[in-house]
Structures are given as structure tokens and as C-alpha cells.
Amino acid sequence: MSSSEVVKTESLPEGSWASSAARRRNMQAIKSRDTTPERRIRQLVHARGARYRVSARPLPDLRRTADLVFRSAKIAVFIDGCYWHGCAEHYVPPKTNSGYWSDKVARNIARDRDTDQKLREAGWLVLRFWEHEESDACAEKIITAVRNRRRNK
């Protein structure tokens, strides 16, 4: 290596949640919206004629967004990732930095329950689906709920 070459090393911030710089880059690249399951379900719901808001706040004062929001029907739809939301069927605890990540998932689950409660108290119907659920079945449940809420309004 010549004296003009620079070796770039990445150091992690003190107390970082990532076990390595590579892991940090990998985790930061994970999408928080427009995931494949979300896009599939949105496409199916749209094809059936329903219109909705994407990644919107159902309640303006609540700093949380739903994946699909049907304002007139007061329906908030969440498509939860198995890892991030602690799916009983698919969640696998991490091997590295397990304390941090297990706590993070537990906080996510608690926030999900709190979100559900606040939306229900405001008269909203909350629909939650796991990313592994069949997209057609999810879309059908959403369409049925939207039609029922609009009919009974």
C-alpha cells in the first residue's frame, strides 16, 4: 500500500445497537414502508376498487402511521413484519446483541397494542395482518370490512 492510499475504517458510535458496521448498514437498508407484502395487498385492494391513503396517520395527534388508511370508513390496516412485531410463528431471537433487539421487539409489540387501543377508542376499526399471510385473503378481509363500514355508516 502506498502512502497516498487511504484505508477507510468504519467505527461504530459508542453504545451502538449494531454489532458491526456491516450489520448496521444491513439493518438501515430494511424498508419501513412499501415492503413486498404491503405492495401486493395494496395492488389487490386497489384492483377491487377501494381507494386509500398509504403510510398515513389515522389520527393527526397520534404519531403513528398505518400501512393503508380508509378515512371515510375509519379503517386502519397494518401489515406487520414477523421479526419486528414478534410473530409467534416466525420470530427468531437474534444471536448477537440479543438484549437490545429483544427489548426493541417487545417495545414494538407494546406500541402496537397501544395504537390499536387508541384507534378503537376514536371509533376506528384496526386490521392487522402478518407479512406471511396470504395476500388474497388479507385483501378480501379489507374489502369486506370497508364495504361493511361504509354500508352501515
CATH, residue 45: 3.40.960.10
Q: Give the max Cα distance, the chain.
A: 76
Number of domains in the chain: 1
Answer yes or no: is 140 within a domain. Answer: yes
Answer yes or no: is 17 within a domain. Answer: no
Is the Cβ–Cβ distance between 104 and 83 less than 8 Å?
A: no
Answer yes or no: is 127 within a domain. Answer: yes
**Do the strands 125-130 and 66-70 form a parallel or antiparallel pair, or are they unpaired?**
unpaired
Answer yes or no: is 74 within a domain. Answer: yes
- In single-letter form, the type of residue at position 64 comes to R
Answer yes or no: is 7 within a domain. Answer: no
**Residue 67: which of 43, 48, 42 has the closest Cα?**
42
Answer yes or no: is 73 within a domain. Answer: yes
Answer yes or no: is 145 within a domain. Answer: yes
**Which phi and psi angles does 8 have, rounded to 5°?**
-95, 120
**pLDDT value at residue 8:** 40
**Do the strands 53-56 and 125-130 form a parallel or antiparallel pair, or are they unpaired?**
unpaired
Domain, as residue range, for 37: 32-151
- pLDDT of 28 > 80? The answer is no
**Which phi and psi angles does 53 have, rounded to 5°?**
-100, 145
Provide the pLDDT confidence category of residue 16 given band limits of 50, 70 and 90. Answer: low
Is the Cβ–Cβ distance between 148 and 124 less than 8 Å?
A: no
Answer yes or no: is 5 within a domain. Answer: no
**pLDDT value at residue 121:** 98
Lowest-pLDDT choice from 35-49, 56-70, 87-101, 114-128: 87-101
In the numeric block, the cell 433487539 is attached to 101
Joined together, the cell numbers standing for residue 76 give 386502519
3-state class of 114 per DSSP?
helix
Name the pTM for this structure: 0.79
In the numeric block, the cell 492510499 is attached to 5
**pLDDT value at residue 127:** 98
